[in-house]
Amino acid sequence: MVEKGDEKRVVMTLCPLHTKILVPGDNLTSIIIKGIEEQSAPLEDGDIIVIASKVVASVEGRIVRLSDVKPSEEAYRISKETELEPEFAELVIRESEIVYGGVFRALLTLKDNILQANSGIDSSNVPKGYAILLPENSTKSAHKIRNEIYQKTGLKIGVIIADSRTHPLRLGNAGFALGVAGIIPVADERGKKDLYGNTLKITRRAIADNLACAAEILMGEGNEQNPIVIIKGAPVEMTEEYIDESQMIIPQDQCMYFGTLFK
């Protein structure tokens, strides 16, 4: 917080951590702590660590060799329509609760009550001939990493496991939070007043998603090798409560997109 007279401004800083290519069995918490120690700014209470979901999945061994996947007839059909490899399409089918359809190289899926492309499966940033799934349970992973950092440092920080996705009718990817620990992920503004005294009716701010978006700018999507971003000074509410993914999900019948288009 920076104060100047009666003016108060929040100054938020983001610092990416450059890492080696992470592989199954790596100790992610130790890599994070070592990377922070090599930075000029030490980790402090209230800092937030944003971690790309794919590195979490990598160390958890969530990498699949496509030649080991036997495609179904449905996967072959989808492959012809979207130009996805049949083996990749099969993985998407297996990991999805619902596959709604697709366009070139992308299937719209529902997984864990989240609409996303290809059920979060990716064939980039893995060796050729492989695909990487999402972490088995991003919420548990976030809390595990937070607890391990507390045990090693005594610091109470926030952890966000982040991925990227597109938004309806918007070009390009943006970050969002898959799993959160240590912070309240959504700020409920309902009942508050706006600048003109109007009462906010439905407004809730996706704090964790917004922080994931900010971190995504520094993480990149290619060969940057910046899968971890430390955020300092974020105006968030810290918590010791167990945060699960349900606290970031809106019921389907209340969702403007889902409730309107998928009735």
8 A C-beta contact, residue 177 and residue 208: yes
User: What pLDDT, on a 0 to 100 scale, did the predictor assign at position 108?
Assistant: 96
CATH number at residue 100: 3.90.1660.10
Closest by CA position to 47, among listed 226, 224, 250, 211:
211
Average confidence (pLDDT) over 122-149: 95
Domain termination residue (choose one: 133, 168, 193): 133
Average confidence (pLDDT) over 84-93: 98
Tally of domains within the chain: 2
Give the range of the structural domain holding residue 78, as residue numbers without chain letter.
63-133
Q: Are residues 117 and 165 located together in one domain of the fold? A: no
List pLDDT tens digits, range 226-251: 999 999 999 999 999 999 989 999 99
Does residue 124 register a pLDDT over 90?
no
Q: Are residues 71 and 186 located together in one domain of the fold? A: no
Does residue 37 register a pLDDT over 60?
yes
Q: Are residues 165 and 194 located together in one domain of the fold? A: yes
Highest mean pLDDT among 57-61, 167-171, 252-256: 57-61
Q: Are residues 141 and 229 located together in one domain of the fold? A: yes
- How many angstroms separate the CA atoms of 134 and 76, rounded? 23
pTM over 0.85, yes/no: yes
List pLDDT tens digits, range 180-205: 999 999 999 999 999 999 999 999 99
Phi, psi of 139 (to 5 degrees): -65, -50
User: What pLDDT, on a 0 to 100 scale, did the predictor assign at position 7?
Assistant: 57
Q: Are residues 209 and 241 located together in one domain of the fold? A: yes
The helix (run of H) or strand (run of E) holding residue 59 is helix 53-59
Domain termination residue (choose one: 133, 156, 180): 133
Q: Are residues 33 and 109 located together in one domain of the fold? A: no
User: What pLDDT, on a 0 to 100 scale, did the predictor assign at position 221?
Assistant: 80
Q: Are residues 154 and 220 located together in one domain of the fold? A: yes
